[in-house]
Amino acid sequence: MSQSAPVLFEELPTESGHRLGVARLNAEKSLNALTLEMIDLLAERCAAWSADDGIALVVLEGAGERAFCAGADLTRLHGACLAHHASASHDDIRANAYALDFFSREYRLDYALHTFPKPVLCWGHGVVMGGGMGLMIGASHRVVTEQVRIAMPEINIGLYADVAGSWFLARAPGRTGLFLALTAAQLGASDALFAGLADYHVEHARKAEVLARLQAQPWRGASRADGAALSRILDDLAAPAAAPGPLRRHFDLINRLCAPTDPREIIAAVAALESSDEWLARAAATLRAGSPTTAVLSIELQRRLKICSLAEVFRAELVASLACAARPDLAEGIRALIIDKDRKPHWQPATVEAVTDAWIDGFFASPWSPQAHPLADL
């Protein structure tokens, strides 16, 4: 495969005769942002490795030193949304063919990682955000380094914490998952472990040592035994426990702010937060500048999908994401942040108070019967 391919694949030999499957996101200039081509390449190779008895485990990593994956490449999605808005089929969320392809295939890949029959090690170094979290969260062994920056920043573009964010953020301690979805607050290694978004903290300088240990390991070709062996290796090489990060330090405050039953009260409380703590102040400012629809929708998704299975969450998120693509804020958010870069989005509705219950209910209205849903087979 050409070294310029958007995803590079390699199979490394091991002492037991098994092989390690290594997938490297290879779009360093965009911080390894996911394109549909990258999603399809990963899905195809993961399916092949899943069925290959010679592959003991899979390693996911990003090219370069700045990021594992910064999210999705949104430029083409922006154009597709505008074309859909101007079309005669603008009321049909299924009519945005590119958005349907992108979100459904991305979520299918994420689900495949969650249910992969072999250990999957994700090396979370540098920026791990949005779609990057969708890949990492599904891995059985999620490593973060001292330089990791984890966040779900979708409120900045009028989307929401998708890629099963409605599932994994809802399972974070206390009400921290709501706070992270509302504020795009960034987490380091310590807080990633606290929030259950990572499993191991290993210094980036030890990556070569990790790979060497993996190649020297006598793998058995049995998922449970091999997963346990991988856990022991990562435990051996883990960094000393780091000091608590801001998410953990402000846990009680976050729980109080996110306690009300009315989503609008939660949003108002967090947005009104004044603090000398830079992390808290930035979180509140991000919420104030973000999409009001995203804020309310983020809370409703976590609450309505709380007892749903992972597959049910992905199906509900596909509907919500296509509804976001069909409504004004996603295209406008991408324009303001990525296309024109003026950072002055004009949200519709413009205020949280103007976001009605009926408006939010529309994000849950599936245009498919359960049997016809594109992700019905998950």
12: Cα within 13 Å, side-chain hemisphere: 20
In a domain, 78, yes or no: yes
Q: Map residue 87 onto helix, strand or coil.
A: coil
Domain with residue 49: its CATH number is 3.90.226.10
Q: What one-character DSSP code corresponds to residue 290? A: S
Q: How far is it, in rounded angstroms, from Cα 133 to Cα 350?
A: 29
Distance, first Cα to last Cα, the chain:
30
In a domain, 75, yes or no: yes
In a domain, 372, yes or no: no
Angle at 330 between CA 324 and CA 332, to 5 degrees: 145
Q: How far is it, in rounded angstroms, from Cα 162 to Cα 137?
A: 12
Per-residue model confidence as pLDDT tens digits over 179-198: 999 999 999 999 999 999 99
* Region of 10 on the Ramachandran plot (φ > 0 left; ψ -120 to 50 alpha; else beta): beta
Q: How far is it, in rounded angstroms, from Cα 319 to Cα 302?
A: 15
Burial of 308 (0-12, 13-18, 19+ CB in 10 A): middle
pLDDT at 100: 98
In a domain, 178, yes or no: yes
Per-residue model confidence as pLDDT tens digits over 21-50: 999 999 999 999 999 999 999 999 999 999
Residue 1 has pLDDT above 70, yes or no: no
Residue numbers of the domain that contains 324: 7-364
In a domain, 376, yes or no: no
- 94 is written with which tokens? 């299924």
Q: How far is it, in rounded angstroms, from Cα 287 to Cα 156?
A: 8
246: Cα within 13 Å, side-chain hemisphere: 17
Per-residue model confidence as pLDDT tens digits over 215-265: 999 999 999 999 999 999 999 999 998 899 999 999 999 999 999 999 999
Confidence band for 3, pLDDT divided at 50, 70 and 90: confident
Q: How far is it, in rounded angstroms, from Cα 58 to Cα 50?
A: 9
In a domain, 374, yes or no: no
Per-residue model confidence as pLDDT tens digits over 196-217: 999 999 999 999 999 999 999 9
Q: What is the dihedral of CA 58, 62, 65, 67, to 10 degrees?
A: -120
Burial of 310 (0-12, 13-18, 19+ CB in 10 A): middle
Q: How far is it, in rounded angstroms, from Cα 96 to Cα 80?
A: 7
- Estimate to the nearest angstrom the gap between the alpha carbon of 268 and the chain centroid: 25
- 267 is written with which tokens? 């949003």
pLDDT at 119: 98
Structurally, the chain folds into a number of domains equal to 1
**What are the helix (H) ranges across the chain?**
36-51, 75-85, 97-114, 131-137, 165-168, 176-183, 189-194, 207-216, 223-237, 246-249, 251-257, 263-271, 278-289, 292-304, 310-326, 328-334, 357-361
Per-residue model confidence as pLDDT tens digits over 308-363: 999 999 999 999 999 999 999 999 999 999 999 999 999 999 999 999 999 999 99
For tokens 């998952």, name the residue: 177
In residues, how long is the chain? 378
In a domain, 66, yes or no: yes
Residue 169 has pLDDT above 90, yes or no: yes
Q: How far is it, in rounded angstroms, from Cα 158 to Cα 292?
A: 8
- List, in order, residues 6 or more apart from 18 with CB less than 8 Å away: 54, 55, 56, 219, 221
Q: Map residue 78 onto helix, strand or coil.
A: helix
- Average pLDDT over all residues of the chain: 97
In a domain, 377, yes or no: no
